[in-house]
Amino acid sequence: MHTIKQQLHTYCKQYVQERLETIEQIIRSCKNDLNSETKSSAGDKHETGRAMIQLEMEKAGQQLASVQQMQLVISKINPENTTDLVCLGSLVRLKIGTYYIGIAAGQIALNNQTYFGISTHSPIGKLLLGKKQGDIIPFQGKQMEVLELL
C-alpha cells in the first residue's frame, strides 16, 4: 500500500514526464518545419515564417529548461522521509487545503481528496518552509495554522 505522499510523488513524476514529452514533440515539430521551409519567390514571407518557427523553438527551449528543473527537484524528494519541519517533499494540511511541497503541479485529485502540488518558490511554499505543526502563517490576509504534517 502506497502512502499518499508516495502517490503524490508518482503523480508529480508522471506530470513532469508528460510535459517533457510534449515539449520534445514541439521541438521536433519546429525542427521539421524549419527544415521543410523552402525558399519561395516571396522572400519576406519565407524569412517571417522562419523567424516565427525560431521564436517557437526558443519558447519551447525555455519550457524544456523549466521542466528539467522540475525533474531535478522531484529527484531530490524521498516520499518516505518524514520530518517535524516543512521541507521539500512535505505534505502539509491547512484549513484551506493540503499541500505537497515539490513542484508546481496544480490541483491533484487522489482517493476522492484534493491536494495542491506547489513549489518551494510559490508564495505559500515560501511561507511554509521551515514551519512545524501548530505554527501560524499569514496568507491572503488571513492567519493560517499548520494543522498537520503528513
The tens digit of pLDDT for each residue in 20-67 reads: 999 999 888 888 887 776 554 455 666 777 788 888 888 988 999 999
pLDDT at 111 over 50: yes
Task: Tell me: do 18 and 49 sit in the same domain.
Answer: yes
Would you say residue 86 lies in a domain?
no
Domain, as residue range, for 114:
91-149
> Which sign does the torsion angle of CA 117, 121, 124, 130 carry?
positive
- What's the number of domains the chain is made of? 2
pTM of the complete model beyond 0.85: no
Could you give the CA distance from residue 138 to residue 53 in angstroms, rounded to a whole number? 45
Same-domain check for residues 101 and 41: no
Q: Give yes or no: residues 16 and 47 share one domain.
A: yes
Query: Does the residue 81 lie in any domain?
Result: no
Q: Which of 75, 105, 129 is the last residue of a domain?
A: 75
Task: Please check whether residue 52 lies inside any domain of the structure.
Answer: yes
pLDDT (average), residues 66-90: 93
The mean-pLDDT minimum among 29-38, 64-73, 108-117, 136-145 falls in 29-38
Q: Kindly state whether residues 21 and 58 are assigned to the same domain.
A: yes
Q: What's the pLDDT score for residue 38? A: 55
Q: What is the pLDDT of residue 1?
A: 41
In whole angstroms, what is the distance from residue 120 CA to residue 117 CA? Answer: 10
Residue 39 CA to residue 26 CA, distance in Å, equals 23
In a domain? residue 24: yes
Q: Is 85 helix (H, G, I), strand (E, B) or coil?
A: coil
With bands split at pLDDT 50, 70 and 90, how would you rate the model's confidence at 112?
Answer: very high
Residue 124, pLDDT above cutoff 90: yes
Give a yes or no: residue 82 inside a domain. no
Q: How far is CA 106 from CA 41, 45, 118, 141, in A?
A: 48, 40, 7, 22
Instruction: Determine how many CB atoms are found less than 10 A away from the CB of residue 116.
Output: 21
Share of the chain above pLDDT 90, in %: 67
What string of H, E and C letters represents the secondary structure of 14-72? HHHHHHHHHHHHHHHHHHHHHHHCCCCCCHHHHHHHHHHHHHHHHHHHHHHHHHHHHHH
Is residue 49 assigned to a domain? yes
Is residue 85 in some structural domain? Answer: no
